[in-house]
Amino acid sequence: MKKKISIIGLGYVGLPLAHAFSEKYEVVGFDINKARIDELIEGFDRTLELTKEQLNAALENGMKFTMDVKELENSNVYIVTVPTPIDEKNNPDLTPIIKSTQTISTILKKGDIVIYESTVYPGATEEICVPILEEGSGLKFNEDFFCGYSPERINPGDKEHTVTKILKITAGSTPEIAKEIDELYKSIIRAGTHLAPTIKVAEAAKVIENTQRDVNIALMNELAMIFDTMNIDTNAVLEAAATKWNFIKLAPGLVGGHCIGVDPYYLTHKAQSLGYTPNLILGARHINNGMSKLIADKAIKYMIKADKKLKGANILVLGITFKENCPDMRNTKVVDIISELQEYECNVDVYDYWVDKSDRLSKDVPFIEKLPFGSNKYDSIIVAVGHDKFKEISQEQFESLSNATPIIIDVKGIVQKPTWRL
């Protein structure tokens, strides 16, 4: 049977995937955000993952973008790529994936396959999603319909490692379906696939990818804090240690975004529900979540040492996205730096040329449209994100932005003469 594919969720994951599949299959992209659908139909992707030319080519190939569930009825493969965030207590928020599953259950037919790409804890597909599909459709799992899991591997802003160039894990609910799903992905993923033995293994593999990175960064952050108390340059220490062949060179920094700062909580939630307390992972989360306060405190400390007032002080924050050279602000920890500074009644300006103007207006963040070089306005400058253009700012330009003694807090290690570097 010829595959007709519906992609549920057209964000950073779903849209590039839909585009890749559209080169070989009939594809419908579904999203509940009308503004998003309208923009995509007009050939504009605000995530900047696809160009206007790529979108138009996909539309010419027959790909559709819709909010109408009825447009999905003729599909026989449904791929769910919705966000899986955490709530204010750091518990998994499965609302988007549950609602998407409920929607699919209303149109599910015999022989259909539902594949999940959203990051979840091991067991979620079969324990949470399958019962919803059965109840809504009246069909029986692994007899009438089947499921699969292929964890998303998207790196926002990376134009080299795009979706078809990153090896993909696949899994299915039966050996036959697993092979079918693997062949489906293999038909578009030039980097190849890895067929996992079970859906749970594939889910677990995804969640530990980012948990490992989180723990590694937490170690670097803790080392940076230790060396700071010793008045030792952390970067110099890492450069020296990296001369040993088996030392893994990483850097300290903020941990935000939709993966590293979120996924570990899915694993810890499941572990704790089974009676195991994952102290190392939770400890890493605690360290990384505390870095925003540390950075804000350093700015405050150096302003006090320079006899600058705090109340009403002007502070410039360079960058608000969760990583360099992309417009993604999801779960960015720069927002926490801003909040900490505002607690001292400081006036904060944020400059980030990667964030679309309409997105700036929609956020409760004090954006400025351009850098006021020569204004001598700011009592402190925090370089929070390593965008390429920020690397081009000279020491003289930093000084022209600074009021009296320049105070430059360098989170990313890109400033020539910072006051303090993480």
How many residues comprise the chain?
Answer: 422
Of the candidates 142, 74, 98, which has an alpha carbon nearest to the alpha carbon of residue 9?
98
Residues 155 and 78 in one domain: yes
Which of 173, 199, 225 corresponds to the end of one domain? Answer: 199
Assess whether 9 and 125 both reside in one domain.
yes
For tokens 């009308």, the residue is 34
Expressed as residue numbers, the domain containing 133 is: 4-199
| 3-class secondary structure, 193 | strand
> Do residue 274 and residue 361 come from a single domain?
no
| Contact (Cβ atoms closer than 8 angstroms) between residue 137 and residue 108 | yes
Strand partners of residue 39? none
- 394-400 long-range Cβ contacts below 8 angstroms, 24+ apart: 397/371, 397/373, 400/373, 400/374, 400/375, 400/376
User: Do residues 29 and 157 share a domain?
Assistant: yes
Using DSSP's 3-state secondary structure scheme, residue 302 falls into: helix
Query: Among all residues, which ones are annotated catalytic?
Result: 259
Among 288, 309, 340, give the residue marking a domain's end. 288
Q: Residues 65, 182: one domain?
A: yes
Q: What per-residue confidence (pLDDT) applies to 363?
A: 67
Same domain, 390 and 405: yes
Rg (CA), the chain: 24
- List the 420-421 sheet strands across, edge first: 347-351, 314-318, 380-383, 408-410, 420-421
DSSP string spanning 377-414? -BSEEEE-S--HHHHT--HHHHHHHBSSS--EEESSS-
d(CA 237, CA 410): 17
12 & 123 share domain? yes
Find out whether 217 and 223 touch, Cβ atoms under 8 Å. no
User: Which pLDDT score is estimated for 359?
Assistant: 75
Q: Are residues 185 and 69 in the same domain?
A: yes
- Please state, in angstroms and rounded to a whole number, the distance separating the CA atoms of residues 409 and 387: 15
154 and 101 in a common domain: yes
Of 283, 217, 215, the closest CA to residue 249 belongs to: 217
pLDDT of residue 364: 76
Task: Show the DSSP H helices in 11-153 as ranges.
Answer: 14-22, 34-41, 52-60, 95-105, 124, 130-137
Total-model pTM: 0.91
pLDDT of residue 84: 94
Claim to verify: residue 322 and residue 409 sit in the same structural domain = yes
Two tokens, residue 291: 């870095």
* Interacting residues of 385 by C-beta distance below 8 A, sequence separation 6+: 318, 319, 320, 321, 323, 324, 334, 352, 411, 412
Statement to judge: residues 284 and 297 lie in one domain:
no
Q: Give the integer Cα–Cα distance in Å for 359 and 36.
A: 13
Beta-strand pair 168-172/146-149:
antiparallel
Instruction: Read off the amino acid at residue 55.
Output: L
Compute the distance between CA of residue 180 and CA of residue 327 in angstroms, rounded to an integer: 36
Q: Which of 394, 414, 398, 416 is nearest to 406 (CA)?
A: 398
Q: What's the domain count of the chain?
A: 3
The domain that holds 233 is classified in CATH as 1.10.1040
Q: Does residue 181 share a domain with residue 34?
A: yes
Q: Is the dihedral of CA 319, 35, 12, 281 positive or negative?
A: positive
User: CB of 320 within 8 A of CB of 384?
Assistant: yes
* Neighbour tally for 371: CB within 10 Å: 18
Residues in the chain, pLDDT under 70: 361-363
Phi then psi dihedrals of residue 168, to 5 deg? -115, 135
What's the rounded Cα separation, in Å, for the pair 352 and 361?
A: 13
CATH of the domain at 325: 3.40.50.720
Of 166, 199, 232, the residue that ends a domain is 199
